[in-house]
Structure 1
Amino acid sequence: KERDITLLLVGHVTKDGSIAGPRLLEHIVDVVLQFEGERHSRLRLIRAIKNRFGASDEVGCFELSDTGITSVLDPTGLFTSRHAEPVPGTCVTVTLEGRRPLLAEIQALVSQGRDNDFGNARRVVSGLDSARTSMTLAVLELRAAIKIGGRDVYAATVGGMKMAEPAADLALALAVASAAKGLALPADLVAIGEVGLAGEIRKISGVDRRLQEAFRLGFKRALVPAGSDVKIAGMEIVEVSRLDQALQRVKISGE
């Protein structure tokens, strides 16, 4: 610092996610960046853990290719798929990586359950939080009358996206209900909101930022929690307070 020389230190993190070595080093430096990525995904993220010169929740998106690591200006295409016609069991949501909104597609498949050694239906999850998925499925059946108790349910994100935030609950519930009923959701629909145990749709942060990104990419309709109070010219934004109300809006009924 006395000679005004920029110094880059490269280290590794431990299994619990902390930086290896003495904690003093982390306090001395001005910026701590963490390089993240899944083995089976080509997406790489650089996340600011500490930043004395700006926000600490900024995220940079990069793609791993044969020629090296390149910047991805619009990474949404990595987490959504293209369908000629709407397909049952798919729903798009908008997640936040730091301050950056990313569109992500959740896909679900509901099949007739088969007897196994334990006599239980299968619940297979990829890219989603398994505990929140189990909770959402229970709420979907008990509060919205979508019968999936004895059926196998598979849920996954497109492109290896990891989503743990509650804002994806509503999209997951709609995708599973769509798959269970064999009814496709509108192709230009996004859904964001947390699902509570009583079947209510709770408010989430950054609704305006999420919907602006969805509208920029061509989505014209959105289901959001009641009280979000967001208006975007050219976009139909429907506020819902309960899960069964959200299902009615997309013409999916229980039983």
Structure 2
Amino acid sequence: MRKALALSLCAVLLGGCASNPADRDISGTWINQVAIDAAAKGGPLREALQAYGPNLEWDVNTKAAQARYTNGFENVEGKLLGEKPGAWAVDFYGSSATELKRDGKQLSQAASENEPEQVFDRAVIPVPEGAPIGASFERALYSAYMGGSWQVVSGNGEGNTVQFQADGQVTGLPGADRYALCLAGDCASMSGGNDSIWLQQGGQGNSWIFARKGKTLEIFQSVNTALADEMPSYTAGDRKWLLEKQ
């Protein structure tokens, strides 16, 4: 009896010390919060994304053995090969596998030949059902980088209070009711080393160059310096607005 009781107590103790399956679960949406935090300090957006990217968001479904990510330009789908001790391998249909590992409240993507090690946090800002991958990162970035109230110090609408919403709406900026930040892809290639923002109203819009320096935001006209038969190459022209964060 005493032996049975001792064995039972040992099993309980061992069970309590064993790792909780929930601590290894990597299902859900994970965003590159480190890049967002770096951008939120008020510097150039592309520098922060390049320093801590290139991947922006992971979406993982362990039950369906599926994992996908986006780098802001392309969406890549892979298959979970199964859990190894403390990690999951993701196969991208012929290319080298990527390893994902849960480390407490963060998801780590192991370094590879093509990419550095990257860290992701669970997304907390809700997005509409059916939203495309990357929407969680985008909303978190917009909230941290563009959130709050801005005042038009110089330019059309001087004195206005401007608010950039996490869902891409903007109020108080004359001629615009929607905006989108360029994260990667053609818009980044065409703007060289500059940050760019898309502003539109009623479905019609244009790309603008912007420069963020602490609590100031300058928005410039985009000037195409390429020839007619070349890929567009935009540089900053005349300043349209100077905004200051309140």
Shared fold, TM over 0.5: no
Tell me the TM-score normalized by structure 1: 0.28
Between Structure 1 and Structure 2, the one with more strand by share is 2
